[in-house]
């Protein structure tokens, strides 16, 4: 079945215009992550990873996170473009979100700017915001994209999209 791409309106981006292999883009704007009732991460500059069929994945500098909320765990995964990802649990006020964040300590050359930067699965947080807009998590739990009103799909991740 052919993919029905959504035509972007004014001020919108289509994930089908994003490249493959993905690219990094500096982001200047407000990012805020809330967990266990508190802001656990906040910054004004980050990076967006943009890849065909995926909403942007945001990578925040490590110092954007409250001290002690990131707990390194023994889990890794491999991205053919970025390299080996290492995971973190997020812990705050007695709550733990397992494998909720990841980073690339030794990324491939095209992704060196996000070395040790942290990305978070929005669906495991209480809320994530981009420029004060609450994001929706990319469906499926495997990918870490953040969906905002200015991004249109359809997005990979939902049931039936694995082979896109």
Q: Is 163 inside any structural domain? A: no
Contacts of 81 (CB under 8 A, 6+ apart): 21, 22, 51, 108, 110, 111
Determine, yes or no, domain membership for 160: no
Q: What is the mean pLDDT of residues 77-100?
A: 97
Does residue 10 lie in a domain region? no
% of residues, the chain, pLDDT over 70: 99
Residue 13 inside a domain? The answer is no
Q: What is the CATH number of the domain that holds 32?
A: 2.170.150.40
Residue 13 CA to residue 105 CA, distance in Å, equals 30
Tell me whether residue 3 is in a domain. Answer: no
pLDDT at 1 over 70: no
What predicted TM-score, i.e. pTM, was given to this entire model? 0.96
20-49 pLDDT tens trace: 999 999 999 999 999 999 999 999 999 999
Q: Residue 113 sits in which domain range?
A: 20-148
């Amino acid at each position: 079945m052919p993919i029905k791409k959504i035509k972007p309106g004014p001020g919108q981006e289509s994930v089908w215009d994003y490249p493959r292999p993905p690219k990094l883009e500096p982001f200047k704007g407000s990012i805020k992550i809330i967990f266990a009732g508190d802001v656990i991460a906040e910054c004004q500059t980050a990076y967006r990873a943009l890849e065909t069929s995926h909403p942007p994945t945001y990578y925040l500098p490590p110092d954007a996170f409250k001290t002690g909320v990131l707990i390194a765990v023994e889990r890794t995964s491999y991205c053919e473009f970025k390299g080996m990802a290492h995971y973190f649990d997020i812990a705050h006020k007695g709550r733990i979100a397992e494998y909720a964040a990841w980073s690339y300590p030794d990324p491939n050359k095209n992704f060196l700017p996000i070395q040790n930067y942290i990305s978070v699965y929005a669906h495991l947080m209480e809320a994530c915001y981009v420029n004060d807009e609450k994001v929706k998590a990319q469906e499926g739990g495997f990918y870490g994209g953040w969906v905002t009103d200015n991004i249109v799909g359809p997005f990979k991740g939902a049931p039936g999209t694995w082979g896109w």
